[in-house]
Amino acid sequence: MMAVSTILYSAPQTPLDIIARLEKKLSSLDSFQADLVQTTFSTSISKPLQEKGRIYFKKPDLMRWEYSDPETYTYVYREGMLLSYFPEDNQLWRQKISPEQYETAIPALLAGKAHLAEKYVIEPSPFPGAGPNAAQLKLTPKEEGDTDYILLEIDQKSGMIQRAILFDWAGNKTEYGFSKIKTNPRFSKDQFEIKVPPDCEIIEDAVPRKK
């Protein structure tokens, strides 16, 4: 009698499965860092603005956005304070904000706190530039707000986010591309601090000019 081999096929992942895996992955991390390419498409300017830098995150709520091209500036969020440093102007902006204010779409997503399935209708939505292992999804808010919808690209091999594109109600969009992702790196004590020169101008309780 011939042996019959049994082949097991895994069921295809649904959009909710993919989102659940992404949030489980992000919420399980103690820290991560990634190279960042941020491109802003605005209806008020003809040429998109592309900026490059790096992002750092450490639980429970430490985050650093460090831009290096074409301009150098840094945002750090810690202990309810958003610090925005613009070395070209020699200014440090300090703004007290609640976690709810800071945890907007992208920061909350990267921290694994977005609760996407509760807040968005999630469906497949292919868009240009997908990688070989990419799952691409469209997230439409269940309640009206500043964000019209979000496109997400997730690496199904690693379970990590590769791209997020936010479309607002006015027709503008901001694309975040993440690469060279390191999970659970060790950071120095001063990674989430900003050192400024003695003559730096400190501006209190002000909304940053960028981002």
Q: Which residue has the higher pLDDT, 105 or 152?
A: 152
Model pLDDT for residues 56-96, shown as the tens digit of each residue: 999 988 999 999 999 999 999 988 899 999 999 999 999 99
Model pLDDT for residues 149-190, shown as the tens digit of each residue: 999 999 988 889 999 999 999 999 999 999 999 999 999 989
Q: Per-residue pLDDT averaged across 117-138, rounded?
A: 90
| Segment among 105-114, 122-131, 143-152 with least mean pLDDT | 105-114
* pLDDT(8) > 50: no
Please identify which residue in the block is written with the tokens 């070209």: 88
* pLDDT(211) > 60: no
* pLDDT(36) > 80: yes
Structure confidence at residue 1 (pLDDT)? 44
Q: Return contacts of 61-70, CB within 8 angstroms, 24+ apart.
A: 61/99, 61/111, 62/191, 62/192, 63/107, 63/110, 63/111, 63/192, 64/191, 64/192, 65/36, 65/211, 67/38
Structure confidence at residue 57 (pLDDT)? 94
Structure tokens at 157: 């091999």
Go through the domains of the chain in sequence order and give each one's CATH number: 15-204 (2.50.20.10)
| Segment among 30-39, 71-80, 100-109, 124-133 with least mean pLDDT | 100-109
Structure confidence at residue 110 (pLDDT)? 86
